[in-house]
């Protein structure tokens, strides 16, 4: 199967079917979807396309990157592979172990006019 193509700066009207139609002239589209916000369901402006072969993907990227679609200029490139879930850690946030070694432990913030 082909690698995934990332498409950025999509208009609000764009969905997976429209995205597949946009890429169809360059070869057979295996899968096309547009990311949506998890609570509102609104289009996030980013989509992903898998074509049946990489040559079709190369042709689509060359033709569509920088092309105007509606009132937006598309950004089209090969997507970086996503690491497996066990190696990637949490998807939303990574915890950070931050310590402030510069400030002494007994120091208190200055209080200006507060009791």
Distance CA 60, CA 93 (A): 33
The superfamily in CATH containing domain 4-80 is: RRM (RNA recognition motif) domain (3.30.70.330)
> Considering the chain, what is the average pLDDT of its residues?
82
Of the pLDDT bands very low, low, confident and very high (cuts 50, 70, 90), residue 53 is very high
Distance CA 9, CA 105 (A): 47
Helix, strand, coil percentages in the chain from 3-state DSSP, rounded to 5: 25, 25, 50
The pLDDT assigned to 81 comes to 78
Neighbours of 86 (CB within 10 A): 6
What would the pLDDT profile of 67-94 be if each residue is shown by its tens digit? 999 899 999 999 987 777 666 555 554 4
The pLDDT assigned to 59 comes to 96
Task: Kindly state the DSSP code that residue 3 receives in the 8-state scheme.
Answer: P
């Amino acid at each position: 199967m082909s690698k995934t193509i990332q498409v950025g700066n999509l208009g609000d009207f764009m969905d997976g079917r429209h995205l597949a139609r946009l890429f169809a002239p360059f070869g057979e589209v295996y899968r096309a979807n547009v990311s949506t916000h998890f609570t509102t369901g609104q289009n996030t402006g980013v989509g992903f396309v898998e074509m049946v072969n990489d040559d079709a993907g190369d042709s689509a990227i060359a033709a569509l990157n920088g092309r105007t679609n509606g009132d937006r200029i598309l950004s089209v490139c090969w997507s970086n592979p996503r690491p497996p879930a066990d190696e990637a850690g949490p998807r939303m946030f990574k915890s950070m172990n931050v310590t402030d070694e510069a400030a002494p432990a007994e120091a208190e913030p200055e209080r200006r006019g507060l009791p």
